[in-house]
Amino acid sequence: MADDSENRVWTLAQRPTGTPDDDCFELETRTIPTPAAGEALVRARYLSVDPYMRGRMRAGESYAEPWEVGAPLQGGVVGEVAEPNGTAFETGDLVVGNLAWADYAAAPAHELTPVDVGDLPVSTALGALGMPGRTAYFGTREVAKPQPGDTMVVSAAAGAVGSVVGQLAKMAGARVVGTAGSEEKVEWLHDLGFDAAINYRAQDDYDAALADVAPEGVDVYFDNVGGPITDAVFDHLNTDARVAVCGQIALYNAEERPTGPRKLGKLVETRARVEGFLVSDFSARFEAATADLRRWVTDGDLSYRETVTEGLERAPEAFLGLFEGENVGKQVVKVS
């Protein structure tokens, strides 16, 4: 924990080649920023590490702005207002925003949203009730659209997005199969009500494993990973299947762009539809989504888990762990 006069800030030390490592990150000690007019100073409680941040480490194209070498890393942070500085906030108000990976950050008041999690832990504003929860909400209901009787496969099913997707698909009446990278995760998916789950790390034949858990084929696929798992699922798509492409984490560390989706021929045969989406496409409806998610969690209809890494100094470790599958549910870092 920092003393009250210093501000620890993570910056991008260098851009990675392939899989990032500790050398990409530098923890600097800077002064606590003085908020300008219209800004508030926020003391971080939790910060979010997310797979999309790998794209921000690149200089080139990604759907989020690249992080600059030498500049603070940024992402979802929930914290308390330390200095309202004449904004409409009061000292101690809990807010969420896109802030530096730091003990303290200043941000324009209009970029800070009051935390609205009811009696739930504030960290849920970064997880089940935050960006990943909303991604699952819109991706499932507006893109994948599982129907009663459908068989739906969800990859990275024990992650922040996937675990919510599977539960929402169950609510919609689908039969839900998850893929995940450990026996512990598979057990949790069963606890969540998934009908079947595959520990892909224990399989040498994804095709046979899928045939076993989805003998009638796959009507809906919610793709978080891409790569070999997605290739295998495509071979099991049914006529008129729908594929919602949420993420491709298996490819994020690749230096070469893969040579295109490899199984498009399957779409001719099945007349399946593949649709990518970004959660930001639905920003006008975030408030309503968060209200639904909060109600479901509060009423016990939606479960979530968080993997909490203690200490701002361990933020890179938490981030890198996403690519090793070390998180169950939402990975957050507890700062204070």
Q: Which stretch binds ligand NDP (CB under 6 A): 46-54, 72-80, 84-92, 214-222?
A: 46-54
Q: Give the residue with the Cβ less far from ligand NDP, 13 or 278.
A: 278
Examine residue 124 and tell whether it contacts ligand NDP (CB under 6 A). no
Helix and strand numbers (H, E) in the chain are 9, 15
3-state secondary structure labels for all residues of 52-68? CHHHHCCCCCCCCCCCC
Handedness of CA 168, 173, 174, 180 (dihedral sign): positive
Q: Which residues contact 264 (CB under 8 A, 6 or more apart)?
A: none
Examine residue 162 and tell whether it contacts ligand NDP (CB under 6 A). yes
Examine residue 286 and tell whether it contacts ligand NDP (CB under 6 A). no
Measured from the Cβ of residue 143, the count of other Cβ atoms closer than 10 Å reads: 20
**C-beta of 278: minimal distance to ligand NDP in Å?**
4
Examine residue 279 and tell whether it contacts ligand NDP (CB under 6 A). yes
Examine residue 132 and tell whether it contacts ligand NDP (CB under 6 A). yes
Measured from the Cβ of residue 258, the count of other Cβ atoms closer than 10 Å reads: 12
Angle at which helix 286-298 crosses helix 131-138, to 10 degrees, equals 100
Question: Which of 59, 65, 112 minimizes the C-alpha distance to 85?
Answer: 112
Q: Are 249 and 224 in contact (CB under 8 A)?
A: yes
Examine residue 322 and tell whether it contacts ligand NDP (CB under 6 A). yes
Q: Which stretch binds ligand NDP (CB under 6 A): 2-10, 69-77, 151-159, 284-292?
A: 151-159
Binding track over 234-263 against ligand NDP, x by CB under 6 A = ------------xxxxx-------------
Q: Which stretch binds ligand NDP (CB under 6 A): 26-34, 74-82, 97-105, 220-228?
A: 220-228
**C-beta of 269: minimal distance to ligand NDP in Å?**
26
Examine residue 178 and tell whether it contacts ligand NDP (CB under 6 A). no
Measured from the Cβ of residue 129, the count of other Cβ atoms closer than 10 Å reads: 31
Task: Give the Cα separation of 1 and 8 in Å (integer).
Answer: 9
Instruction: Give the footprint of ligand NDP on residues 58-97 (CB under 6 A).
Output: none
Q: Give the residue with the Cβ less far from ligand NDP, 41 or 225.
A: 225
Examine residue 224 and tell whether it contacts ligand NDP (CB under 6 A). yes
Task: Give the Cα separation of 18 and 157 in Å (integer).
Answer: 24
Give the binding site for ligand NDP (CB under 6 A). 50-52, 132, 135, 156, 158-162, 180-182, 185, 224-225, 227, 229, 246-250, 277-279, 322-323, 325, 327, 331
